[in-house]
Copies of this chain bind each other. A is one copy, B any other.
């Protein structure tokens, strides 16, 4: 079993939904209750509750307990590993190291030749 890979699965899957990304963004401003988090969205509370469960299973939020409220708190740590994974590819999108760049330049050169 590869724990790191599984974590990346859960993290990226959690980030693949705009509602969940918006929730994370909101939590950068501090902890919030479920109904507070649901307020900006045109969807029912159970739907938001499900999104929160996805975020929790990815470790991106932690849920507390305050009377009948369950305040959610941001935990950005899983994003660190995601950032590190993506960073492997930095050299491929920076400068002219990009393999697509080489490919497209090749095509361009070919076209110029034909145009002559």
Query: Least Cβ distance of A54 to chain B in Å?
Result: 11
Closest to A2 in B: B18
Chain B residues with CB under 8 Å of A93's CB are 76-77, 79-80
Contact-residue bracket for chain A: 35 or more
The answer to whether A86 and B79 touch across the interface, beta carbons within 8 angstroms, is yes
A64 within 8 A of B: yes
The answer to whether A90 and B83 touch across the interface, beta carbons within 8 angstroms, is yes
The answer to whether B83 and A99 touch across the interface, beta carbons within 8 angstroms, is no
The answer to whether A79 and B74 touch across the interface, beta carbons within 8 angstroms, is no
Chain B residues with CB under 8 Å of A12's CB are 12-13, 15-16
Closest to A80 in B: B93
Closest to A81 in B: B93
Query: Least Cβ distance of A96 to chain B in Å?
Result: 12
Jot down 12 A-B pairs with beta carbons below 8 A, ordered by A: A8-B21, A9-B16, A15-B85, A28-B88, A31-B99, A64-B103, A73-B103, A75-B99, A76-B98, A77-B98, A80-B93, A82-B86
